[in-house]
């Protein structure tokens, strides 16, 4: 069956790097925050191997920044997240689940504290701007909520430090994980963080000058020629092997942070936030289901476009949310939202694929461990 193409239009936003990634042969896009996000250049496996061995430039412009600024910026941010941001310092990145009043996951952004009264909420795929603007309006808060012209470019892979040092100077090596510095590119200071949606190491450059997008891409590209720099993008294989969850796929507003294994980012006895009462109830009763790892038998699986039902002796055991063949584990790996009665490691579950075929999976802890 032929796979339909995405129709492109202005509504589906391009990025300032789009000309380069198309010249470099991007093979597939997805849509993320109403913007194009590459998913494949050569093949999923070749992109994965290259990411693990070399260094890649990722156009992650779709990681939109929701900027909160003004006297009530910190208050609005804390209303939206169970994570206690009281001790966050300027120059820090903080992974912070955003929840609604029922404790449902709205997003799982990285928050950058730019100043005491200015934050970038670097969002996953949902309209946080509208949520934040509504809260500000309803609460009569003195805060500006905006989507600035910021187009993050990630540099990921084991040679990322060497490549970045050539363009931004040796100071990049001093940036600690989940911290950022302002480093000059062509005389303009850019926010450069040691972060990114892989576990292969690297940086994210928060480009806030449209006219510097192609010069920045070209400078990194040229400086990296002898490092085998390549185009890349968040890679399904790498992110599943590394247990990085994707909002919209692995968790939705139907799930609370405990179900998503984000317990360590929830401080329910800290500052007040919207969903605190709801999440206290979940904490006290225990979550009904949880994201778990699953090793699935047999050969490579099709892409997980719908939640695949899980069962055990006829009962509903949950659903598979992402799945991929892992070269490193020599097995299919998956994330699954597994009902409490079945979530113990070692539990054997039946999977029904969309074509009706059956597979078996074994529940395991995240992150996946090589056995
Ligand atoms: N970078 C930026 N924005 C983003 C992402 C990103 N927005 C969308 C999406 N990714 C948000 N989700 C995540 C999920 C995990 C991580 C980052 C963003 C992550 N987690 C680390 C880990 O799991 O080890 C560290 C978390 C922690 O502080 O404990 O990196 O990638 N700009």
Q: What is the C-alpha to C-alpha distance for residues 6 and 97, in angstroms, rounded to an integer? A: 30
Domain with CATH 3.30.1360.120 in the chain: 18-60+150-240
Q: What is the C-alpha to C-alpha distance for residues 270 and 351, in angstroms, rounded to an integer? A: 40
- With a 6 Å cutoff on the Cβ, whether 15 touches ligand 1 is no
pLDDT band at 277 (very low <50, low <70, confident <90, very high): very high
CATH numeric code, 18-60+150-240: 3.30.1360.120
pLDDT tens digits for range 152-176? 999 999 999 999 999 999 999 999 9
Cβ contact 324:246 at 8 Å: no
Domain with CATH 2.40.30.110 in the chain: 288-371
> Which pLDDT value is given to residue 314?
86
- CA–chain centroid gap for 368, Å, is 18
The closest of 55, 62, 1 to 29, measured between CA atoms, is 62
Q: Report the nearest atom of ligand 1 relative to the CA of 197.
A: 31
Give Cβ neighbours of residue 336 (< 8 Å, ≥ 6 apart): 291, 292, 293, 294, 310, 318, 319, 320, 321, 349, 361, 363
pLDDT tens digits for range 14-70? 999 999 999 999 999 999 999 999 999 999 999 999 999 999 999 999 999 999 999
- With a 6 Å cutoff on the Cβ, whether 197 touches ligand 1 is yes
How confident is the model over 315-329, as a mean pLDDT?
Answer: 97
Cβ contact 318:307 at 8 Å: no
For ligand 1, the distance from its centroid to the CA atom of residue 230, given in whole angstroms, is: 22
Nearest alpha carbon, ligand 1 atom 16: 197
Q: What's the mean per-residue pLDDT of the chain?
A: 97
> Which pLDDT value is given to residue 254?
98
* Residue 3 reports pLDDT greater than 80: no
Domain with CATH 3.30.70.1400 in the chain: 65-146
Instruction: Please give the C-alpha separations between residue 168 and each of 113, 183, 184, in angstroms, as whole numbers.
Output: 22, 6, 7
How does DSSP assign 140-182, residue by residue? T---EEE--S-EEEEEESTTHHHHHHHHH-GGGGGPPBTBEEE
> Which pLDDT value is given to residue 68?
98
Give Cβ neighbours of residue 366 (< 8 Å, ≥ 6 apart): 243, 261, 291, 292, 293, 335
- With a 6 Å cutoff on the Cβ, whether 109 touches ligand 1 is yes
Q: Report the nearest atom of ligand 1 relative to the CA of 107.
A: 11
How does DSSP assign 212-253, residue by residue? GHHHHHHHHHHHTGGGTEEEE---HHHHHHTT---BTTTB-T
- With a 6 Å cutoff on the Cβ, whether 124 touches ligand 1 is yes
The closest of 277, 303, 276, 287 to 254, measured between CA atoms, is 287
Domain 288-371 grouped into CATH 3.40.50.10320: no
Nearest alpha carbon, ligand 1 atom 26: 95
Residue to mutate, 195, 206, 234, 291, ligand 1, most ligand atoms under 8 Å from C-beta: 195
> Which pLDDT value is given to residue 306?
95
Q: Is the pTM of this model over 0.95?
A: yes
Helix (H) or strand (E) holding 128: helix 128-138
Structural class in CATH, domain 65-146: alpha beta
pLDDT tens digits for range 219-272? 999 999 999 999 999 999 999 999 999 999 999 999 999 999 999 999 999 999
Residues forming beta bridges with residue 204, ordered by sequence position: 154, 193
pLDDT tens digits for range 89-138? 999 999 999 999 999 999 999 999 999 999 999 999 999 999 999 999 99
Cβ contact 234:37 at 8 Å: yes
């Amino acid at each position: 069956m032929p796979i339909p193409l995405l129709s492109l239009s202005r509504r589906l936003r391009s990025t300032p790097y789009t000309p380069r990634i198309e010249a470099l042969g991007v093979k597939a896009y997805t849509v993320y925050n109403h913007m194009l996000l590459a998913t494949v250049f050569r093949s999923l496996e070749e992109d994965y191997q290259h990411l693990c061995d070399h260094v890649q430039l990722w156009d992650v412009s779709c990681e939109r920044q929701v900027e909160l600024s003004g006297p009530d910026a910190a208050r609005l941010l804390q209303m939206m997240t169970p994570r206690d941001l009281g001790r966050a310092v300027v120059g820090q990145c903080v992974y912070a689940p955003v929840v609604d009043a029922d404790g449902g996951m709205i997003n799982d952004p990285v928050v950058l504290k730019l100043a005491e009264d200015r934050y970038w909420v670097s969002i996953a795929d949902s309209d946080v701007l509208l949520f934040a603007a509504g809260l500000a309006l309803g609460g009569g808060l003195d805060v500006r909520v905006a989507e600035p012209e910021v187009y993050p470019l990630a540099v990921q892979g084991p040679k990322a430090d060497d490549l970045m040092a050539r363009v931004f100077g040796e100071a990049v090596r001093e940036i600690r994980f989940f911290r950022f510095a302002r480093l000059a590119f062509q005389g303009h200071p850019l926010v450069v963080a040691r972060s990114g949606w892989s576990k292969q190491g690297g940086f994210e450059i928060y480009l806030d000058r449209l006219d510097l997008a192609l010069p920045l891409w070209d400078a990194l590209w040229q400086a990296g020629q002898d490092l085998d720099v390549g185009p890349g993008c968040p890679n399904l294989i790498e992110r599943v092997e590394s247990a990085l969850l994707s909002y919209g796929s692995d968790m939705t507003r139907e799930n609370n942070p405990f179900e998503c294994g984000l317990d360590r980012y929830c401080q329910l006895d800290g500052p007040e936030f919207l969903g605190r009462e709801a999440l206290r109830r979940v904490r006290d009763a225990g979550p009904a289901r949880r994201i778990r790892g699953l090793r699935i038998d047999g050969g490579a699986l099709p892409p997980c476009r719908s939640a695949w039902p899980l069962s055990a002796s006829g009962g509903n055991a949950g659903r598979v949310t992402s799945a991929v063949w892992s070269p490193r584990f020599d097995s299919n790996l998956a994330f699954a939202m597994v009902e409490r009665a079945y979530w113990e490691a070692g539990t054997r579950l039946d999977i029904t694929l969309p074509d009706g075929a059956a597979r078996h999976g074994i529940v395991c802890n995240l992150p996946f461990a090589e056995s």
